[in-house]
Amino acid sequence: MELPQNPFQRSLDGNTRYGCWAGFGTGYATEILATTGFDWLLIDGEHAPNTVPSILSQLQAVAPYSSAPVVRTVNHDPALIKQLLDIGAQTLMIPMVDTAEQAARLVAATRYPPNGFRGVGGGLTRATRWDSVENYLARAHEELCLIVQVESRTGVDNAEAIAATEGVDAVFVGPVDLSTGVGHAGNPNHSDVQAMIRRTLEVTHAAGKAAGILAPAEADARRYAQWGFDFIAVGIDISLLHQAAIDTISRYKSDIPQPKSSLGY
């Protein structure tokens, strides 16, 4: 059996790709998203109630569709990274990366020796199709995509070195954490934050890597697309359901309060 191709990696061809956060933690909900036309889906293991088994069920649920799955980890734990790769995740997004040294360590966690320290699961793992993929140990890295998140002033200061790290494929800006960390909580559109976002984009592209960002507000997403971001998350499934439910009941009841986002969107 051939090594399965990574659809997200192959979609990064210079055209902006639009995605959605998948936060419900179930294969059923994520499969619904996969049928709607998003180019990619972020299966969120950081803030959503996901575990390794629930992430597996979502990878299986979206496999027949064209929406490419990206899995976000909760932290930098190499043991968890190993588990996620073993269940078949090919694109990982890692939060809170502040230095090139951290980025290099994360790369090593995705590689087998001698290029890293990923443990060998062999026939136990979905990634190898239970030992059916030829030369998996030698070729696995060819279809892996590592996205690191820059979400702090330190990360922005080190973005050039982070992006230049061999094995890092993309840098994703977290505008909410970034704006909060630099003293503009709830206001990612503050001019200082916008300048930091643009600088991160520019040094990432200068390193020949792809850049992504979260932008649920349409005006923000369109601006970032004009700037040249390669992949943009334009929706969050939980927020979409919440707002749609409020809009629906508001047609029949006049006392429904409209929510105000604490995230600046």
What is the spatial distance between Cα 211 and Cα 201, in angstroms, rounded to a whole number?
Answer: 6
Q: Is residue 150 domain-resident?
A: yes
Task: Give the residue numbers annotated as catalytic, written as ranges.
Answer: 47
What is the spatial distance between Cα 189 and Cα 91, in angstroms, rounded to a whole number?
Answer: 28
* Token duo for residue 99: 């230095």
Task: Give the per-residue pLDDT at 44.
Answer: 98
Average pLDDT over residues 56-82: 98
Task: Give the per-residue pLDDT at 92.
Answer: 98
Going by pLDDT thresholds of 50, 70 and 90, the confidence category of residue 258 is confident
Q: Is residue 258 domain-resident?
A: no
Q: Is residue 185 domain-resident?
A: yes
Domain that holds residue 31: 7-250
Q: Is residue 218 domain-resident?
A: yes
The CATH number linked to 11 is 3.20.20.60
Task: Give the per-residue pLDDT at 76.
Answer: 98
Task: Give the per-residue pLDDT at 265.
Answer: 53
pLDDT > 60? residue 72: yes
Question: Burial, 96: exposed, middle or buried (Cβ in 10 Å; 0-12, 13-18, 19+)?
Answer: middle
- How many residues are present in the chain? 265
Task: Give the per-residue pLDDT at 263.
Answer: 61
Q: Is residue 200 domain-resident?
A: yes
Task: Give the per-residue pLDDT at 15.
Answer: 97
Q: Is residue 79 domain-resident?
A: yes
Average pLDDT over residues 114-120: 97
* pLDDT tens, residue by residue, 85-96: 999 999 999 999
How many separate domains does the chain show? 1
Q: Is residue 14 domain-resident?
A: yes
Q: Contact 29/48 with Cβ under 8 angstroms?
A: no
Provide the 3-class DSSP secondary structure of residue 129: coil
Task: Give the per-residue pLDDT at 259.
Answer: 74
* pLDDT tens, residue by residue, 143-171: 999 999 999 999 999 999 999 999 999 99
Q: Is residue 255 domain-resident?
A: no
pLDDT > 80? residue 245: yes
- % of the chain residues with pLDDT over 70: 98
